[in-house]
């Protein structure tokens, strides 16, 4: 089954404790993105990756790091989480190849993060 998976689905942590949220896709997509969703603000793009070892900032990259060492994986790293990073996080992937689904993003189930 074609899918994007995220782990963990729920996480409660404390300020300053480094954490990683994993994202993996099995569709051989070139592009992957991370978003955060906050009430009244919709989804905002944090980082995206065009392929292995190629990443770029989205609209809200501060406080986050990413890496793309393998095509299927795109982890989101919070080196020193703060309470304002409490949010619902989504990973998404898409393909640049031509066709009716080109550039259509497929989303993971989301990770609910609470930073105390």
Partner 1 sequence: AQTVTQSQPEMSVQEAETVTLSCTYDTSESNYYLFWYKQPPSRQMILVIRQEAYKQQNATENRFSVNFQKAAKSFSLKISDSQLGDTAMYFCAFMKHSGGYQKVTFGIGTKLQVIP
84/56 Cα distance (integer angstroms): 22
By CB under 8 A, the residues from 22 to 61 that bind partner 1 are: 31, 33, 35, 40-45, 48, 50, 54, 56, 58-59
Buried b (16+ CB within 10 A) or exposed e, 96-115: eeeeeeeeebbebebbebeb
Closer residue to partner 1, CB minimum distance, 20 or 45: 45
- Residues paired with 112 in a beta bridge: 10, 88
Token duo for residue 82: 């703060």
CB of 101 to partner 1, least distance (A): 8
Residue 116 binds partner 1 (CB under 8 A): no
3-state SS class at 83: helix
Closer residue to partner 1, CB minimum distance, 12 or 50: 50
Token duo for residue 59: 């609209």
69/15 Cα distance (integer angstroms): 27
- The binding track of 71-90 with respect to partner 1, each residue x by CB under 8 A or -, is -----------------x-x
Residues of this chain that interact with partner 1 (CB under 8 A) are 31, 33, 35, 40-45, 48, 50, 54, 56, 58-59, 88, 90, 92, 94, 101, 103-107, 109-110
């Amino acid at each position: 089954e074609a899918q994007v998976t995220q782990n963990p689905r729920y996480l409660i942590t404390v300020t300053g404790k480094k954490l990683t949220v994993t994202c993996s896709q099995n569709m051989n997509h070139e592009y992957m993105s991370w978003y955060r969703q906050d009430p009244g603000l919709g989804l905002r793009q944090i980082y995206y990756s065009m392929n292995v070892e190629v990443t770029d900032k989205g609209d809200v990259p501060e406080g986050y790091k990413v890496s793309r060492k393998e095509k299927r994986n795109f982890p989101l790293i919070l080196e020193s989480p703060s309470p304002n990073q409490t949010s619902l996080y989504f990973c998404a992937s898409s393909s640049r190849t031509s066709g009716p689904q080109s550039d259509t993003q497929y989303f993971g189930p989301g990770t609910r993060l609470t930073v105390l």
